[in-house]
Amino acid sequence: MSSRAVCTACNRNIDDSAKLCPYCGANPTTGERLDTQALLQEVFRPREMTTSDSVLEFARQRQGVVIAVTAFVAFVIIAAVHQYVTMRNSNAVTDAPAVPLTEITDVTKKTDEVTPVPIPELNFQYEGRPQMMRTYIAEQGAITPPEALPPPKPAAQPGTAAPAAPAPAAGPAPVPQKQ
């Protein structure tokens, strides 16, 4: 249990370890009164607040209320704009016939979409080996185009030797296809 003392200024019972009387603010042993407001301002220096600082401090303290009021104001503004647009659209209807787009746009410079566009000339680089460009991969059931077939060999005359087979072309071998 704490010991009790009596303040000499106001004669009230206070705690023995108190430096100031909680009732009158005087020194309990000497009875000398101290200006507690000046002491508090010296220890806790209040800063000067401008109007905008006080509004921001108010908003920080009551953040939920500020958010709710802001959301309500935004809802009211959106509802008012919606009402205005709805009323304007209901009054802005005309009985005149619709204007065709040909009167508004210039269709004279529009190209015909049905005409096919010619394919541009393709100049492939094949490093001097035309065999690379003539390699075909045939699918099952595909027919070789006539321009890709080798020319027919002349029939050998009886009694003459058959011509020698041409040397294979330099380049990659044709890829065999699975059937």
Q: What pLDDT score was predicted for residue 71?
A: 95
39 falls in which pLDDT band (50, 70, 90)? confident
Choose among 10, 9, 7: nearest CA to 18.
Answer: 7
Alpha helices in the chain (DSSP H): 36-43, 51-61, 63-91, 101-104
pLDDT for res 81:
96
End-to-end CA gap in the chain: 105
Whether the per-residue pLDDT at 170 is higher than 80: the answer is no
63-91 and 51-61 helices, crossing angle to 10°: 100
pLDDT of residue 137: 56
Structure token pair of residue 34: 């101290």
Measured at the CA of 146, the angle between CA 142 and CA 152, to 5 degrees, comes to: 120
> Which is more confident, 80 or 89?
80
* pLDDT for the residue numbered 160: 59
Q: Mean pLDDT, to the nearest integer, of 25-35?
A: 82
pLDDT of residue 24: 85
Out of 4-13, 101-110, 151-160, 163-172, least confident range? 163-172
Regarding predicted confidence, which is higher, 140 or 8? 8
Burial class of residue 121, CB neighbours in 10 A (0-12, 13-18, 19+)? exposed
Structure tokens that stand for 170 in this block: 């330099």
**Is 31 within 8 Å of 8 (Cβ atoms)?**
yes
Place of tokens 């210039």: 106
What are the backbone angles phi and psi of residue 43, rounded to the nearest 5°? -75, -50
pLDDT band for position 76 (cuts 50, 70, 90): very high
pLDDT at 119 over 90: no
